[in-house]
Structure 1
Amino acid sequence: MTNKQIKMTPYEYGKKACREGKVRIPGLDTEFLLSGHLNVEVGEGLKPLNQWLQGWDDVHLVRD
């Protein structure tokens, strides 16, 4: 995974997904899945998924 491949953090992808009306499921965010953030060793994929969820939640909480 190169730095050029990753344009945003998982947190930013989650925020963007919420703003675009996507559901709160990182596995359904195609742009995030293709970003390269999940190209990690076994056991390290939970961190970017949780960061995505935190970004989605932060935007959603501000809206309410």
Structure 2
Amino acid sequence: MQDTTTVDRLRTVLADVVYPAAKDQLTDHASRNNGDEDTVHALRSIPDGVYGSFDEVLDSVAIDQSRDA
């Protein structure tokens, strides 16, 4: 099963990220901001690279539309 998260959870843990940001920066930031395990794992599953915006992260992370925030 693939690790998934919600847009709201991602928005919360990445709220103050300064873009562009590398994958490692995003996962570290989510961990430091008390991101839940699913959200941190979902970020670890995105391709390596530098993300220029929150929308670029959203395009790469697995979002579970059926879950509540």
* TM score, norm. by length of structure 2: 0.29
Which of the two has greater helix per residue? Answer: 1
* Structure with bigger gyration radius: 1
Q: TM-score, normalised by structure 1?
A: 0.30
Structure (1 or 2) with the greater strand fraction: 2
